[in-house]
């Protein structure tokens, strides 16, 4: 699993989303802006993190998903889940 690069600083965090409240935009292919990293953090349950056309990586509490700048990705809830995304630059 990828890690955030040294020297990046958190500047924004989403609210916590559930399987019922996750924005449709996160379920479809999307990407961050140039220089913006994301860290998907699962608070409860499981979340599939799909990067490009690759297979899903299962995220759980303690197993975060690193979003690289300008890389296409999406998420897919697996049952009950609660998670948030923190943004870095």
Residues β-bridged to residue 81: 45
Q: What is the pLDDT of residues 8-53, one digit of tens each?
A: 999 999 999 999 999 999 999 999 999 999 999 999 999 999 999 8
Distance between first and last Cα of the chain: 19
Least Cα distance to 1 among 44, 52, 69, 49 occurs for: 49
The domains of the chain are located at: 10-88
* Report field, pTM of the whole predicted structure over 0.85: yes
> What are the angstrom distances between the C-alpha of 61 and each of 2, 28, 39, 73, 89?
16, 22, 13, 20, 23
In CATH terms, the fold of domain 10-88 is Jelly Rolls (2.60.120)
> What are the angstrom distances between the C-alpha of 46 and each of 10, 26, 77?
24, 15, 7
């Amino acid at each position: 699993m990828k890690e955030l690069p040294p020297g990046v600083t958190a500047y924004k965090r989403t609210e916590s989303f559930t399987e019922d409240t996750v924005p449709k935009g996160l379920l479809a292919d999307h990407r961050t802006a140039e220089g913006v990293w994301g860290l998907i953090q699962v608070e409860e349950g499981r979340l599939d993190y799909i990067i490009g056309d690759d297979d899903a990586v299962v995220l759980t509490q303690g197993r975060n998903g690193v979003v690289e700048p300008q890389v296409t990705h999406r998420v897919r809830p697996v049952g009950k889940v609660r998670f948030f995304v923190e943004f870095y630059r």
